Structure 1
Amino acid sequence: MPNGSGTPPEVSALAINVAVPEELQWTDTRRDVEYRLQTLNIRLLPDGSLAAKAYGRPVAGGRGGYTSFRVPESPKLTTLISRAADEAGRMWSGHAGL
């Protein structure tokens, strides 16, 4: 859709946050703190591919910093990422405006 000047608006980023189902959650350690990874941030890159980072909370409780973790290679996580991107596209295409 034109932005008033006849050219499409420049979209610099598309990103979604996705809850990781409990059975797919995992732990990782950063600075001697173990985290339970519960959320994925998935970005659509300009070339159409996807990138994902994981976020979570310290296993011992308390508040951990907003630190990203690599998403491990896993067919189930790859499927979750792909299905989430498809669902986000469906939701975006059906938006109701402001």
Structure 2
Amino acid sequence: MSGDLEVSALAVNATIPEALRWTDMRRGQEFHLTTLNVRLLRDGHLAVKAYGRPVAGGRGAYVSFPVPDDPALASLVAEAATRAGTLWAAHRGLG
């Protein structure tokens, strides 16, 4: 059955290390980006968006931001995907 089982979503959240965090503007608010959401697409490639909180405080909206083209961030994305795969492969079933 496992070959026929369709998995519709594979995603992981990874914390952005302080040294790699950045700010971006959306809807007149500045956001401090702290989290990456990495998804595995059907074709095997990765997609990523960044999320964070308004610099001015408060909850703010759950708004995604593009991730800058930066080799350090690309490495972080790949590392997060690889680590997630390792963790998933080692699962111990329902607890």
TM-score of the pair, normalised by structure 1: 0.93
Number of residue-to-residue matches in the alignment: 94
Structure 1 position 21 matched with structure 2 position 7: no
Matched, 1:9 2:32: no
Which structure 1 residue ranges, 4+ long, deviate > 2 Å from structure 2?
none
In 2, the alpha carbon distance for the partners of 1:65 and 1:50 equals: 24
Larger Cα Rg: Structure 1 or Structure 2? 1
Residue 42 of structure 1, aligned match among 38, 42, 54: 38
Determine what percentage of the aligned residue pairs are the same residue.
59
Structure 1: runs of 5 or more not aligned: none
Task: Return the offset for 1:75.
Answer: 0.2
Map 1:71-82; keep pairs closer than 5 Å: 71-82=67-78
Shift of 1:93: 0.5
**Which stretches in structure 2 are left out of the alignment for 5+ residues?**
none
Amino acid at match of 1:93: A
